[in-house]
Chains A and B, each alone.
Chain A
Amino acid sequence: DGGITQSPKYLFRKEGQNVTLSCEQNLNHDAMYWYRQDPGQGLRLIYYSQIVNDFQKGDIAEGYSVSREKKESFPLTVTSAQKNPTAFYLCATSGTGGIYEQYFGPGTRLTVT
């Protein structure tokens, strides 16, 4: 089945710990994205990558890091520097260029206490 996998669905961490969220795709899409959703807010872009070994900061990149070593994978690390990490995180993929629709994974809900 073609699709996007995010794991785990729910993740709990203690404050001060880094945590990595995984995103894997087999759609053969070049572009991959990480979004964050908070109650009452739209999806906000954290990082995006249009090609392997290259990525750009989105609107809220502070406290996050990413890597893109393989076309299929775009993991997001939430570092201890992120002041309010509890949120719902969505990964998406698309062809390169704004005319291509984005496909979204099922999301990971991260709770940091």
Chain B
Amino acid sequence: ILNVEQSPQSLHVQEGDSTNFTCSFPSSNFYALHWYRWETAKSPEALFVMTLNGDEKKKGRISATLNTKEGYSYLYIKGSQPEDSATYLCAFIGTGTASKLTFGTGTRLQVTL
């Protein structure tokens, strides 16, 4: 079973702070990396699908970078808001495994006023 790790496990920031989390994955046989946001009492929603080394993606105040050679991705949130409070999951897909995602355990973010 592949090892996909996320750090930190949880994070508590104040409104307006910028923050970032890490997803580490196997650097060999990389095919794609997904980021999802999972708010309490809702279903996980996709943020980004990243496939190329050096990829940078942005959606509003959230952005992500990808380094496939060293096996990590960063998720950044600029100027955190209470509505950003959620668990952020990354998921790795290796070559030859079709659509099979291996998820990390997530980073739980809490943003307070």
Give the interface of A toward B (CB within 8 A): 4, 31, 33, 35, 40-45, 48, 50, 56, 58-59, 90, 94, 96-107
Cross-interface CB contact of A42 among B34, B89, B93, B98, cutoff 8 Å:
B89
B99 an interface residue at 8 Å Cβ cutoff? yes
Q: How far is the CA of A48 from the CA of B100 in the complex (A)?
A: 8
State the Cβ distance, B22 to closest chain A Cβ, in Å.
15
Q: Which residues of B contact A44 (CB under 8 A)?
A: 103
Which chain B residues lie closer than 8 Å to A105 at the CB level? 43
Q: Decide yes or no: A43 and B99 within 8 Å by CB, A59-B1, A90-B43, A104-B43 being known contacts.
A: no
Interface string of B26-68 (1 = CB under 8 A from A): 0000011010100000011110010100000000000000000
**Which residues on the B side are within 8 Å of A35 (C-beta)?**
103
| Distance of B33 from chain A, by nearest CB (Å) | 9
